[in-house]
Amino acid sequence: MSSPDLGAKSPEGPGQPGDKASVDEDAQRRPQSADQPPGATPIGQRLLTDPQVAVAILGQAAAIFAAAIAVVYAAGALSIAFKLWYDGVPVLPALVQLPRSWSVSQALTELLPVAIVAGLLGNFVWKRIRRSSLGKIIAESARPEPRSARRKREAGRWVASAVLALFFTSIALLFARFFWRSPIPANGAQDSIGIFPRPWWNILILCLILDTVLIRLALHFLSKVPTVGWRRVPQDAIRVMILALAFIPILASISAPYAFPIVKLCGPDFTHPFKAGGNYTLGNLIGINGQYVYVAEVLTKEPKPNQFTFSAGYIAVIPLSEVKIVAIGQNASCGPFAPPGPDK
């Protein structure tokens, strides 16, 4: 009687691919992430095995990308709209006529970088004052409170928002006073003077109301960011995003006094003469594309000699074929230019 071969293994014995117990043991030995619950499938494997997960993640990524594009375009359009409003130009009819690429470039070069820096700084300040007495007043309470306490806390939030909004509005008024002007030809002379189409109290009312509401909304959503169960980086990222979105309109109102640069377009078809001979028109340069020059111009009244008042604002779309010289700057001139030197 032959003895059994102890070295022989069954095709379905332990250690073979078909052994379910061996597969389970390998899965148990495999290290898991600290954030991954026991028995959970890794996200990479789910992407390969579950098409619905991959479609959902791609859809979320596409939605985030579309939202980012919308924020960039809206920020640039808002910045241009504030500048047009400061110059007394009807905003909506003028804004829809401008190329959309200008809104994108305006947001990426002037507004969004400053808004992100302001969001980072605001998040730093928020984390410092959140546990202070001021932070306890403006932060949302997670515990039930009596109605009188809720009203007092809500009034404190609105007061804090209004005080901070008044600070930003004061900056906008100072910039409007010292940096902003819309150029007009002064009695046909080559030099120009500046007027202020928008009264200071218009800027005060609009900016104060807008900034107060935005700051109050930012305080509300900052208090809603979870502080338990989330890692530090997602918390900071969400707070910076909330603050950056709130700062976009605030910064647009502050930067509006840095209006479009003064431009003098020189050509024989324009109406204002200059001393050296020739004609020109004057305004704030919005932009130039391949065919046209977009200029914000104002009409004035002169009730007394050399006392000009604002009458109306508009955008002039001038063909490049009519422009001989585009001179940009406050002291721009159409000539005469220095003659060329003798050849050496």
Could you give the C-alpha distances from 335 to 114, 271, 277, in angstroms and in order?
38, 16, 8
pTM for this structure?
A: 0.71
Sign of the CA dihedral with 69 first, then 71, 72, and 73 last: positive
Q: Are 342 and 317 in contact (CB under 8 A)?
A: no
Which residue is associated with the tokens 């918390």? 235
User: Is it the case that residue 83 has pLDDT exceeding 80?
Assistant: yes
Looking at the chain, which runs of residues are DSSP E strands? 182-185, 192-195, 262-266, 272-273, 279-288, 292-304, 307-319, 325-328
One-letter amino acid at 27 equals A
Exposure of 270 by Cβ count < 10 A (0-12 exposed, 13-18 middle, 19+ buried)?
buried
Dig out the tokens for 268 from the structure.
């024989």
* Mean of the per-residue pLDDT values of the chain: 76
Buried (b) or exposed (e) across 309-344, using 16+ Cβ within 10 A?
ebeebbbeebeeeebbebbeeeebbbbeeeeeeeee
Tell me what pLDDT residue 229 has: 54
Across 278-295, average pLDDT: 85
Q: Please calculate the CA angle 196-198-202 and round it to the nearest 5 degrees.
A: 140
User: H or E element: which one contains 13?
Assistant: none
Show me where the domains of the chain are located. Answer: 52-255, 262-328
DSSP-H helix ranges across 110-199: 112-129, 133-138, 147-178
List pLDDT tens digits, range 208-267. Answer: 999 999 999 998 888 787 765 556 667 888 899 999 999 999 999 998 887 688 888 888
Nearest C-alpha neighbor of 245 from the set 13, 71, 97, 81: 71
Residue 15 binned pLDDT confidence (cut-offs 50, 70, 90):
very low
User: Is it the case that residue 35 has pLDDT exceeding 50?
Assistant: no
Residue 96, classed as helix, strand or coil, is coil
List pLDDT tens digits, range 313-324. Answer: 888 889 988 888
Tell me what pLDDT residue 20 has: 46
Residue of 277 and 123 predicted with greater confidence: 123
Tell me what pLDDT residue 194 has: 63
Tell me what pLDDT residue 224 has: 80
List pLDDT tens digits, range 288-309. Answer: 887 899 988 887 777 777 677 7
User: Is it the case that residue 135 has pLDDT exceeding 80?
Assistant: no
List pLDDT tens digits, range 96-105. Answer: 888 888 888 8
Tell me what pLDDT residue 10 has: 47
Tell me what pLDDT residue 233 has: 67
User: Is it the case that residue 24 has pLDDT exceeding 60?
Assistant: no
Give the contacts of 327 (CB within 8 A, at least 6 positions apart).
263, 264, 265, 266, 333, 334
Tell me what pLDDT residue 33 has: 47
Residue of 344 and 95 predicted with greater confidence: 95
Tell me what pLDDT residue 162 has: 94
Give the contacts of 293 (CB within 8 A, at least 6 positions apart).
263, 265, 285, 317, 318, 319, 320, 323, 326
User: Is it the case that residue 82 has pLDDT exceeding 50?
Assistant: yes
Tell me what pLDDT residue 119 has: 93
Nearest C-alpha neighbor of 111 from the set 79, 74, 73: 79
pLDDT above 70 as % of the chain: 70
Among 155-164, 187-196, 265-274, the minimum mean pLDDT is found in: 187-196
Residue 180: alpha-carbon gap to chain centroid: 21
Give the contacts of 145 (CB within 8 A, at least 6 positions apart).
153
Q: Are 85 and 256 in contact (CB under 8 A)?
A: yes
Residue of 8 and 252 predicted with greater confidence: 252
